Chains A and B, each alone.
Chain A
Amino acid sequence: MPVDLPERVLRPHRGLVSLNLPELWRYRELFGFLAWRDILVRYKQTYLGVAWAVLQPVLTMVVLTIVFGRFAKLPSDGAPYAILVLSALLPWQFFSNALSESSNSLVASGRMISKVYFPRLIIPASSVLSGVIDALVALAILLVMMPFYKTGFRPQLLLLPVFFSLAFLAAFAAGIWFSALNVKYRDVKYVVPFITRVGMYVTPVGYAWRGVVPEPWQFWFSLNPLVGVIDGFRWCVLGPQFEPYWPGFWASTAVMLVLAITGLLYFRATERSFADVV
């Protein structure tokens, strides 16, 4: 028998547990496989398949543009309203889809959790990752539409991945919190749709918020991490008039990091009982 066999010691743990990054790295392939499965299944199960990934943002954009741009006549700070809406829809739809998918992911994988060991963090993380495909589709639509609305490609477009990473981080932080809570408290599945529904109003998806939100409220408004992300997207796509409100931006980024770190700790501390509860 080889001498260099790995030894594993299983014993009760109390309190905080380390993240165990080497183990997560060992399971990176499974992480990819699960995201790949989610994507395959999503596109195979719906009749519209890939068309759905195109229709969803386009139809939402049309409705929001007509309601807020035409009927309500909200200011667009000189930008074409459709592009204003679409550049915000991209991160918002990614966030809200990723959040609902990932918060439900652990419960949905209950069978797997009770039959095989792997770091449980892979499950919510891979369901956030699988949403990236839809976001790429939305990005393609955005890039195709921009010339039609005479919006030039600015060098800042290269910064989009940075702001997208923030949307990813926000979805991941909220996703791990809610997925772990969902295992224990089954009413979380009613809380998440509520958050995404209400979030649509306090997040400036259908409007440019600077001209709408009164000055004294602006800092509090911008604590919503998605506000900074959306500003960032519009800044990259449309121009300097949408430059993020930096104090709020940094504050919300800090909030997000705190949420992500506490989420990881909470997740690691509760994951050992998932199989007993699911």
Chain B
Amino acid sequence: MAAISVRQLGKQFRLGLKMHNTLRDQLAALLRRDRKSSSETFWALRELSFEIGPGEVVGIIGRNGAGKSTLLKVLSQITEPTEGEVRILGRVASLLEVGTGFHPELSGRENVFLNGAILGMSRIEIRAKFDEIVAFAEVEKFIDTPVKHYSSGMYVRLAFAVAAHLEPEILIVDEVLAVGDAAFQKRCMNKMSEVGRQGRTILFVSHNMGAVEALCSRAILLQNGRLEKDGSVAEVVDAYLGHASADEDLLQNQDSRPGNGKARFYSVHYQDHAGTKVQSVRCGDAVEIVVQYRVAVPLQSPVLRMTLYSSRGVAVANLDTEASAISVAASGDVRLSCRIDCLNVAVGHYSLNVGMADFSGLIDHAIQIAPLVVESSNYLGTGKLPSADAGMIVFRPSWNVEAR
């Protein structure tokens, strides 16, 4: 029997155009007999069906707004489905955030008990694992200090340590590994894969394809709330990385992106030296990133920032108009391009985060868009390139060898 079985699941949200957010408005509306809700709705999930067997470790992937978080919230019983049903066999623990319910005024010890209880552990269970939790988090010395005095690293370690010691049959994990330092992330990954080997069912959401590939055997790709692909992790990650054109997504999820929307990106793509649109370049080639956005409300000295990410979620380079002292057009329909003469990064898959902000705050932020494949080339003049596993940047070194 399946540990999780999802049948024809749908979740509809009302885009709160005409929600009466105050009693006063509601009463006024009642008096006007204006009870028609003219709000728009959209389906965050639709006609989703899949089954997950006991002990399977499954990655849920997809772009922002694809419905991953909504799916996790429905499975965690935080929000109710609009249609369809889910059957879950076994105790579920969900980790949509680390440190839920942590209170800054309370000591580490008090927070461990509180957080453990919130995550569904009994007092006896927490007491039994307390020393182990504190040791895992490496905060023994500070366990009776209020957590407001913790460094952010200590805070995250303690919070994750509590979660890592849950023993449910089914574990649902959202992008919580994106926090903390690299060494601790690695320990978390090890702890999680340990959990997987104990025959526990795990659902894991991440943008970090490296982590998904390392932990999961199977993956499910969501797009616009529907199941796009379900299969072996290698197959599904490939489908995700090579997925459609970014422009299409950029146009579709404009409303669900963060930012105040005074301007919205509608196209981000790459061009080669000849001005042809490309999705792959060779290591060491020139490439031009073209960003187009439309301004609805005039901006005040906006700043545009792009970060190139590897498929393993590592930030490779940052392109920042402020750092380059470039002023960005603040009104109209804008085409901005950024030329990199020599893209000397390792062979592999990349994507961009593109964000814009001004004095009024964040304007738009598009995450994980514009996939780019960097292919092998004769950059070093030898026909060989260093292994992509060992580093992100390919230098053209000058060697000098002297035998004495």
Contact = CB atoms under 8 A, between A and B. Distances in A.
Interface stretch (B20-28, B178-186, B367-375): B20-28
Contacts of B81: 10-12
Contact of B106 (A37, A116, A272): A37
Contacts of A44: 105-106, 146
A7 B87 contact: yes
B89 interface: yes
Nearest to A36: B114
B139 interface: no
Interface of B: 13, 20-24, 26, 54, 73-92, 94, 96-97, 100-101, 103, 105-106, 110, 113-114, 117-120, 122-123, 146, 169, 199
Contact of B89 (A5, A40, A116, A273): A5
Interface string A102-117: 0000000001111111
Given A10-B81, A40-B110, A111-B100, A117 B94 contact: yes
A115 B78 contact: yes
B23 A6 contact: no
A149 interface: no
A11 B85 CA distance: 5
Given A41-B103, A116-B76, A11 B84 contact: yes
A112 B100 contact: yes
A33 B86 CA distance: 30
A188 B73 CA distance: 27
Contacts of A273: 79-80
A197 B169 CA distance: 50
B23 A115 contact: no
A8 interface: yes
A41 B77 contact: no
B94 A10 contact: no
Interface stretch (A161-169, A179-187, A207-215, A258-266): A179-187
A7 B5 CA distance: 11
A18 to B, nearest CB: 15
B96 A10 contact: no
B26 A185 contact: yes
Closest 7 CB pairs of A and B: A11-B85, A117-B77, A187-B22, A185-B23, A33-B117, A10-B86, A272-B80
Interface string A30-56: 100110010011001100000000000
Contacts of A6: 89-91
A34 B100 CA distance: 13
A85 to B, nearest CB: 33
Contact of A187 (B24, B80, B89): B24
B49 to A, nearest CB: 14
B151 to A, nearest CB: 21
Contacts of B54: 1
B105 A114 contact: no
Contacts of B21: 184-186
Contacts of A116: 76, 78, 94, 96, 100-101, 118-119
Contacts of A9: 85-88
Contacts of B120: 118
Interface of A: 1, 5-13, 29-30, 33-34, 37, 40-41, 44-45, 111-118, 181, 184-188, 191, 272-273, 275-276
A34 B85 CA distance: 31
Contacts of B82: 12
Nearest to B80: A272
B24 A5 contact: no
A275 B105 contact: no
Most buried by B among A12, A115, A191: A115
Nearest to A26: B120
Contacts of B169: 1, 5
B100 A37 contact: no
Given A29-B123, A116-B96, A12 B117 contact: no
A112 B23 contact: no
Contacts of A29: 117, 122-123
A179 B350 CA distance: 47
B89 to A, nearest CB: 5
Most buried by A among B80, B83, B85, B146: B80
Nearest to A111: B100
Contacts of A12: 80-83
Nearest to A187: B22
A40 B23 contact: no
A113 B92 CA distance: 16
Most buried by A among B76, B86, B96, B101: B101
Most buried by B among A5, A184, A272, A275: A5
Given A8-B92, A275-B79, A33 B23 contact: no
A181 B22 CA distance: 10
A188 B88 CA distance: 37
B342 to A, nearest CB: 45
A112 B24 CA distance: 28
B80 A10 contact: yes
Given A9-B87, A116-B96, 11 more contacts: A5-B89, A5-B90, A7-B87, A10-B87, A37-B110, A41-B103, A41-B106, A45-B105, A113-B78, A116-B119, A275-B78
9 contacts: A9-B87, A10-B75, A10-B80, A10-B85, A30-B117, A37-B103, A44-B105, A118-B120, A184-B21
A58 to B, nearest CB: 26
Given A45-B105, A275-B73, A13 B80 contact: yes
Nearest to B199: A1
Nearest to B54: A1
Contact of B23 (A1, A7, A114, A188): A188
Nearest to B119: A116
Nearest to A9: B87
Contacts of B26: 185
Contacts of B94: 115-117
Nearest to A272: B80
Contacts of A37: 101, 103, 106, 110, 114
A118 B120 CA distance: 8
